[in-house]
Amino acid sequence: MKVVVTGAAGMIGSNLVHGLNAIGIADVIAVDDLTDGPKYRNLLGAQLSDYFDKREFYARFAKREFGRVDAVFHEGACSDTMEHDGRFMLDTNYRCSKDLLDAAQAQGTRLLYASSAATYGGSASFVALPEFERPLNVYGYSKLLFDNVVRRMLPNAQSGKTAQVAGFRYFNVYGPREQHKGRMASVAFHHFNQFTETGKVKLFGEYGGYTPGQQSRDFVFVDDVVAVNLWFLQHPGCSGIFNLGTGRAQPFNDVALAAVNAARALKGEAGLPLEELVRQGLVEYIAFPDALVGKYQSFTQADLTALRAAGCDHAFADVATGVQAYVGWLARQG
Measure Cα distances from 308 to 48, 126, 318, 319, 329 in Å. 32, 15, 18, 21, 30
Supply the DSSP string of 150-210, one letter for each residue. HHHHHHHHHTTSS--EEEEEE-EEE-SS-GGGGGGS-HHHHHHHHHHHHS-EEEE-SBTTB
Catalytic position from the list 58, 94, 113, 139: 139
Catalytic position from the list 2, 54, 98, 181: 181
Q: Is 107 exposed, middle or buried (0-12, 13-18, 19+ CB in 10 A)?
A: middle
Q: Which residues contact 73 (CB under 8 A, 6 or more apart)?
A: 3, 4, 5, 6, 13, 16, 112, 113, 229
The C-alpha angle with vertex 80 and arms to 131 and 175, in degrees rounded to 5, equals 95
Residue 305, beta-bridge partner list: none
The answer to whether 207 and 296 have CB atoms below 8 angstroms apart is: yes
The C-alpha angle with vertex 19 and arms to 17 and 20, in degrees rounded to 5, equals 65
Largest Cα–Cα separation, the chain:
62
Q: How far apart are CA 17 and CA 3, in angstroms?
A: 9
Q: How far apart are CA 198 and CA 193, in angstroms?
A: 8
Residue 139 annotated among the catalytic residues of the structure:
yes
User: Where in 46-189 does DSSP place strands (E)?
Assistant: 50-53, 71-74, 110-116, 165-170, 172-174
Residues marked active site are found at: 139, 181
